[in-house]
Amino acid sequence: MIWDLYSTTDLTECLYRILLLKDRGNKDPWYDFMASNIFSGLYYADRELARFNAIGIVQKELISKDYYALQTMLEQIPRDNLKQYCQEMQTQAFWRSADEKDLGALLGTLALDPDNSDKNKARAARAFSSDNANSMYYEFAKKFEK
Nearest alpha-carbon partner for 61 in 50, 71, 46: 71
Domain ranges of the chain: 1-94, 97-146
Per-residue pLDDT tens for 19-32? 999 999 999 998 99
Query: Is the pLDDT reported for residue 1 higher than 70?
Result: no
122-138, pLDDT tens digit by residue? 999 999 999 999 998 99
Separation CA 100–CA 134 (nearest Å): 12
CB 51 within 8 A of CB 42: yes
Nearest of 41, 47, 50, 43 to residue 11 by alpha carbon: 41
Q: How confident is the model at residue 92 (pLDDT cuts 50, 70, 90)?
A: confident
pTM above 0.85, yes or no: yes
